A and B are shown apart, each in its own frame.
Chain A
Amino acid sequence: MNSLQQIYTILHKDILLELRSKDIITTMLIFSLTVVVIFNFVFEPGSEEMATSAPGILWVAFAFASNLGLSRSFAREQENSNMQGLLLCPVDRSAVFTAKVAGNVLFIFLVELITLPVMVLFFDLHIGPVWLPLLGTLILGTLGFATVGTVFSAISANTRSREVMLPIMLFPVTVPIILAAIKSTSYLLAGRDMSQVWSWLRLLIAFDVIYFVVCFLLYEYVVEE
């Protein structure tokens, strides 16, 4: 209960800082919308290629945009050694980790919620009947990506070229998440049977759980040394 209150306090602080600066969401949003707009001009309007490529384009936009946001999110904690201030508080490192993941998920998901309708409009996608499972896919994909990203952004922040190091570490590890998310999205948009979608969603859930447990245990060592 006490940890929950501290998780809320850290999350509230991160939201307040983002509301003031708006730098994480703005950066991610500009990037993801730019990707969607550029790819819109690549394909013939209404073509089959456009529909089949849409899930991949969507998740590439989200993944690269998230990378920018995650990098900025931890850099913010480094400006006045704020991370040190957090670690001096009598709170379990796992609570700090959970709060940071929650903040990152929230910011990334918000960007996805704005980008998706633009994508639907530009690529002429029909998500009416599948909007709920699609939302679930977005949440699960974002959770896995943000979990790994929260730990890797802490590791890369202590390296000389953190902007380069983060994607180098993050993308290979999150390939299963990105693949499962793309497959689920593409099956949903193609109107395939839910049992086929469900097999990819199960994989996504499994990786989310594995990554969360591993990162949860690793975070203490990452931020302390």
Chain B
Amino acid sequence: MIRAQKIGKSFGPLRALSDVNFEISQGELIALLGANGAGKTTLIRILAALTRPSTGTAEVAGYELNREQQQVRKRIGVVSHQTLLYGEMSAQENLYFYGRMFRVPDLQSRIDELLGLMELKKRRHDLVRTFSRGMQQRLSLARAVLHQPNVLLLDEPFTGLDIHAEELLTRFIEKAVADQVTVLMTVHDLDYARDHAQRLLVLHKGRLAIDAAAAQTTRAQIVELIRE
């Protein structure tokens, strides 16, 4: 579902990523770990077709990233710590806007379904700027899955969430994986990653230092890498 081949990214003299290779199968939940500045967000941005790699390429949902960006975008959903929502629009208006952009069929019933799932039905007509951080993140998740993507790219989705929103997000990710959606998620919580992900990818100074099953990786190994 995701195949990264020798991905590298430079910003002027700074090398953010070097020779990153990995494969993720359909329905896998993978945690992407690393210290701040290790290249996690850059990698997610490349896989989301938001920025082009300086070297290498990737295949996402069966499409070549450098040549078939629009096809890739149709099949991915992205959640980051920024909600990508318009504060001056209501929850329903935001979903309607993104739904039209993704040409979601039977949009109104899909919006109803997601607002119910995210427990936001009662606030559907309220402006997003009046929502709490947790509610905004739940709506952001609804935005990301509106078009039923095959791949979910989550960049620190738990940042600033309350316990309820955290539980809802965890349940949602578990359901997505059960539905054979591929999930690549950057997290800072090592325990969460070890408990929930099937595999861990650890980036260290832009290089992939660990690509192993969660059970085969010790906590000390990762902590040492992140601390370096």
Mark A residues whose CB is within 8 Å of B.
Answer: 2, 5-6, 9-10, 13, 16-17, 20-21, 79-82, 84-92, 224-225
Q: Which residues of A contact B52 (CB under 8 A)?
A: 224-225
Assess the A82–B86 pair: CB atoms within 8 A. yes
- Complex Cα distance A9/B107, Å? 14
Assess the B50–A84 pair: CB atoms within 8 A. yes
Closest to B50 in A: A87
Please judge, given known A-B contacts A224-B50, A224-B51, whether A80 and B102 are in contact too, CB under 8 Å. Answer: no
Q: Which residues of B contact A79 (CB under 8 A)?
A: 87
Mark B residues whose CB is within 8 Å of A.
Answer: 48-52, 70-71, 73-74, 76, 78, 80, 82-89, 93, 97-98, 100-103, 143
Give the residue of B80, B82, B89, B98 whose beta carbon is less than 8 angstroms from that of A89.
B98
Closest to A13 in B: B97
Q: Which of A10, A88, A91, A224 has the most CB of B within 10 A?
A: A88
Closest to B69 in A: A90
Assess the A85–B84 pair: CB atoms within 8 A. yes
- Complex Cα distance A16/B86, Å? 11
Q: Which residues of B contact A21 (CB under 8 A)?
A: 88
Assess the A80–B83 pair: CB atoms within 8 A. yes
- Complex Cα distance A86/B81, Å? 16
What's the minimum C-beta distance from B126 to chain A, rounded to whole angstroms? 13
Assess the B98–A85 pair: CB atoms within 8 A. yes
- Complex Cα distance A84/B144, Å? 12
Closest to A86 in B: B101
Q: Which residues of B contact A86 (CB under 8 A)?
A: 101
18 contacts between A and B (CB under 8 A): A6-B100, A9-B101, A13-B89, A17-B86, A20-B89, A21-B88, A80-B83, A80-B87, A82-B86, A88-B48, A88-B50, A89-B102, A90-B71, A92-B70, A224-B51, A224-B52, A225-B51, A225-B52
